[in-house]
Amino acid sequence: MTYLLIFFITLLGWFFQGFTGFGAGVFITAVLPLFIDTKVVIVSSAVSNMIGVIYLSVKNFTKNADFKVLIPLSVGSFFGIGIGSYMLGIIPSLTLKFILGITIVLLGIYDFFIQINKLKNFKLPDNQITGYTIGLFAGVVSGLLGTSGPLFAIYLNQKIKHKEEFKLIISIAFFIQAIFRILFYVPNKNVWANFDLMFFLFSVPGVIIGVFIGDKLTKKVKVSTFKKIISISIIIIGIYLTLDSIYEAENEH
């Protein structure tokens, strides 16, 4: 029964990410810990999720994409993941998840108003410092909680115009980040001991089926509509993280 849950929850998460370019990590790490140890989910899904981001990178590839944006995001993520991975082995994550959830809700609302041109004079600064900062915070969150999508999405949703390029760049950023996470996880015995081969084997079919269907649906949506969907998705994920942290905290008492 548990393995079927791994398959279906992963499929649903990757259907969402196949459509939007992000979100599977949040969904998987929020739902599956209700049935499986949280650290097992975070570490094991880091490996299986690489298949989904490779698929999206290949399917949405365009040589005209602004690949330079990946440099500050990746460098910032490297240092952030190092910090987050260290924290994963020694501290509880509920407080951070709650704060992150509230922050993401506020940022999602802000990005939505940007997309409907109500705050067009208040966009994120278009410079490398912003990229390094977003990468650093996204890395810490990824190493500790297994998700960084909303932070990347807010930044790239304002910086990139076309939906295919958005999905390509954010998928490559996730792939690079996943490699960094695994490199930091493996030497840390307290963390890598949580990798579950059966989790990986049952999640892979869910990743493949979900991302295939979700990516197909993206083609039917206008760019302006897609960007608003991204903003709304960020808000929903933030609410989800907040409520999930409250639920987990109540169950601990």
Question: For residue 247, what are the contacts with CB-CB under 8 A and spacing of at least 6?
Answer: none
Interatomic CA distance for residues 127 and 169, integer angstroms = 17
Interatomic CA distance for residues 177 and 61, integer angstroms = 18
Interatomic CA distance for residues 102 and 240, integer angstroms = 10
Residue 43: what pLDDT?
87
CB 14 within 8 A of CB 206: yes
For the chain, the structural domain boundaries read 2-252
Interatomic CA distance for residues 93 and 95, integer angstroms = 6
Q: The whole model's pTM is what?
A: 0.83
Exposure string of 183-203, with b = 16+ CB inside 10 Å and e = fewer, is: ebbeeeeebeebbbeebbebb
Phi, psi of 185 (to 5 degrees): -70, -45
CB 76 within 8 A of CB 133: yes
Question: For residue 79, what are the contacts with CB-CB under 8 A and spacing of at least 6?
Answer: 136, 139
| Burial label, 219 (beta-carbon count in 10 A; 0-12, 13-18, 19+) | exposed
CB 55 within 8 A of CB 174: no
Q: What is the DSSP code (8-state) at residue 253?
A: -
Does residue 221 come out as left (phi exceeding 0), alpha (psi in the -120 to 50 range) or beta?
Answer: beta
Question: pLDDT of the chain along its 253 residues, tens only?
Answer: 688 999 999 999 999 999 999 888 888 887 888 788 878 888 899 899 999 999 999 999 988 899 999 999 999 999 988 888 777 667 666 777 787 788 889 888 988 988 888 877 778 888 899 999 999 998 888 777 767 788 899 899 889 988 999 999 999 998 998 888 888 888 887 878 889 999 999 999 999 999 999 999 988 888 889 989 999 988 998 898 888 888 877 776 6
